[in-house]
C-alpha cells in the first residue's frame, strides 16, 4: 500500500512539474526581464550593486518629497546606489502624463534629469496652470535647450509610447500608487523615514556581501 | 437521499473547488518570474527580508502540489491540514495589512490574472478556511480515494 501511494504521489508531482515547465515555455515572459533598463533615466554609477527603481508621477506631492530624499540617500551611498526612474502618471493627474512626455523630449537633448528636477521643484506652478505647454517650453528654454525641437517633440506625441510602456511595467508589478520604490527589483520599500530606507539598503548590501 | 449523502457531495465539491483554487494560485505564480511574488510578499511588510526569496520560491510549489493532492483526494486530510496552515498564515498576514492600512490595493494571490482587493481576499479566505476545516475534520464523510487515512477506512 505504501509503495502504491508513493508511486501515486510521485506521479502526480512529476506531472505537475511537467505542466509548469511547459507553462513557462508557452507563457513567454518567464525568462524576459520584467523591467527594461533605460540608462538615460538612471542616476548614479551604472555598476552600483544596488538599484532603487522608482515609479513616480510628476504631479504627485509625495513623489516630489521622495525626490529630495532620494538625492540625500544617493549622496550617502555614492558608490553603492543607482536610481532608475520610471514614469507612472496616475489617471487623476492628466497633466503628469504630458509632463512625463516633456521629460522624455528633454532626454533627446540630454537634459532628462535637469528637466525632471525642474518639474518637481516647480510642481505647483505647472499643475495649477492652464498654460501647461507654454510653461513646459519655458523650462526647456531655462535649460538652454532647442525650444523648437522640444516643442515639435511635445506636439508630435511620439514619447507617449515610452510613458505608457513605463506605466505598463509598473502595472505588471501591481503598482497603482505613487511613489513606489523597489529595491534591487525584488523588494518594495515602505516609504517611512530616511533612516528606515537606509537600513534596508544596508541589509541589502550585507545580503549581497558588498 | 439522506443528509449524510448531501454532506458527502458538498464536501467533495468543496475539495474540488479548493483544490482548483490552490492549483491555479500556485500555477499562476510559478509560470511568472519569482520577482513578482517577492514584490507581493514584501508589500505586506511582515516576512523578514532575508526570508522573502525562499518564501516566494516555496509557497507557490506548496499551493500547487498540495492543491493537486487535495483535488485528486490523495492524502486528503494531510493536504487539508497543510493548506489550513498556509491559509491561516495568510489570513493573519492579510489581517495585519488591513489593520495597519498598508497601501496594498491588490492581494497578488493569483499572479496578475485575477485581481482581488485585500477585503475581497479576506472574505474568500474566511470561506476557504471554513471549508478546509470541514474537510479536515470530516474526512470519513467525503468521497475520498485516500487509502492512508484511518478515517477513510
pLDDT tens digit string along A55-86?
999 999 999 999 999 999 999 999 999 999 99
Question: Are A162 and A168 in contact, with CB atoms under 8 Å apart?
Answer: no
CB contact under 8 Å between B33 and A8, yes or no, is no
User: Residue A138 pLDDT > 80, yes or no?
Assistant: yes
User: Residue A33 pLDDT > 80, yes or no?
Assistant: no
* CA A64 – CA B126 distance, rounded (Å): 40
On the 0-12 / 13-18 / 19+ scale of CB atoms within 10 A, A15 is: exposed
CB contact under 8 Å between A12 and B64, yes or no, is no
Average pLDDT over chain A, rounded to whole? Answer: 91
Give the pairing of strands A50-56 and A81-87: parallel
| Residue A182 backbone dihedrals phi, psi, to 5 degrees | -120, 125
* Chain A, chain B: beta-carbon pairs less than 8 Å apart: 81
Q: What is the mean pLDDT of residues A118-146?
A: 95
Nearest by CB: A30 against B32, B38, B40:
B32
* CA B4 – CA A195 distance, rounded (Å): 61
CB contact under 8 Å between B52 and A1, yes or no, is no
Provide, as residue numbers in chain A, all residues whose Cβ is less than 8 Å from the Cβ of B101. Answer: none
What three-state secondary structure class fits A145? coil
Which is more confidently placed, A164 or B147? Answer: A164
Interface test with B, best of A92, A186, A196, A198 (most B CBs within 10 A): A186
- The cell numbers describing B126, all together, are 474566511
pLDDT of residue A6: 87
- The cell numbers describing B137, all together, are 475534520
User: Residue B148 pLDDT > 70, yes or no?
Assistant: no
Q: What is the mean pLDDT of residues A177-196?
A: 83
Provide, as residue numbers in chain B, all residues whose Cβ is less than 8 Å from the Cβ of A5. Answer: 74-75, 147-148
- Among all chains, which residue has been given the C-alpha cell 489581517? B95
From the centroid of its chain, how far is CA A186?
13
Nearest by CB: A5 against B40, B53, B148:
B148
pLDDT tens digit string along A96-116?
999 999 999 999 999 999 999
- Among all chains, which residue has been given the C-alpha cell 492579510? B94
Question: pTM here?
Answer: 0.76
Amino acid at each position: 500500500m505504501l509503495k502504491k501511494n508513493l508511486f501515486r504521489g510521485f506521479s502526480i508531482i512529476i506531472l505537475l512539474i511537467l505542466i509548469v515547465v511547459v507553462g513557462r515555455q508557452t507563457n513567454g515572459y518567464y525568462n524576459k526581464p520584467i523591467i527594461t533598463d533605460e540608462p538615460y533615466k538612471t542616476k548614479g554609477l551604472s555598476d552600483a550593486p544596488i538599484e532603487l527603481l522608482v515609479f513616480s508621477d510628476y504631479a504627485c506631492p509625495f513623489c516630489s518629497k521622495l525626490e529630495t530624499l532620494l538625492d540625500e540617500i544617493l549622496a550617502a551611498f555614492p558608490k553603492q546606489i543607482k536610481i532608475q526612474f520610471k514614469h507612472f502618471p496616475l489617471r487623476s493627474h492628466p497633466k503628469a502624463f504630458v509632463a512625463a512626455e516633456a521629460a522624455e523630449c528633454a532626454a533627446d537633448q540630454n537634459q532628462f534629469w535637469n528637466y525632471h528636477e525642474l518639474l518637481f521643484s516647480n510642481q505647483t506652478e505647472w499643475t495649477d496652470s492652464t498654460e501647461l505647454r507654454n510653461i513646459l517650453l519655458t523650462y526647456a528654454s531655462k535649460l538652454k535647450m532647442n525650444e523648437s525641437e522640444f516643442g515639435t517633440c511635445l506636439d508630435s506625441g511620439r514619447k507617449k509610447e515610452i510613458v505608457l510602456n513605463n506605466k505598463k511595467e509598473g502595472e505588471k508589478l501591481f503598482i497603482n500608487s505613487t511613489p513606489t520604490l523597489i529595491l534591487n527589483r525584488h523588494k518594495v520599500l515602505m516609504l517611512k523615514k530616511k533612516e528606515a530606507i537606509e537600513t534596508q539598503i544596508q541589509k541589502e548590501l550585507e545580503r549581497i556581501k558588498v | 437521499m439522506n443528509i449524510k449523502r448531501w454532506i458527502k457531495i458538498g464536501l467533495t465539491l468543496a475539495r474540488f473547488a479548493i483544490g482548483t483554487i490552490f492549483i491555479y494560485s500556485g500555477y499562476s505564480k510559478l509560470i511568472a518570474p519569482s520577482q513578482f511574488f517577492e514584490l507581493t510578499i514584501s508589500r505586506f511588510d511582515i516576512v523578514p527580508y532575508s526570508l522573502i526569496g525562499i518564501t516566494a520560491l516555496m509557497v507557490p510549489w506548496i499551493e500547487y502540489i498540495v492543491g493537486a493532492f487535495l483535488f485528486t483526494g490523495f492524502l486528503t486530510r494531510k493536504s487539508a491540514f497543510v493548506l489550513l496552515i498556509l491559509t491561516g498564515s495568510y489570513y493573519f498576514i492579510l489581517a495585519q495589512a488591513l489593520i495597519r492600512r498598508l497601501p496594498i490595493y491588490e492581494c497578488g494571490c493569483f499572479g496578475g490574472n485575477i485581481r482581488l482587493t485585500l477585503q475581497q481576499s479576506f472574505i474568500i479566505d474566511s470561506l476557504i478556511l471554513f471549508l478546509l476545516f470541514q474537510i479536515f475534520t470530516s474526512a470519513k464523510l467525503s468521497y475520498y480515494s485516500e487509502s492512508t487515512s484511518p478515517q477513510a477506512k
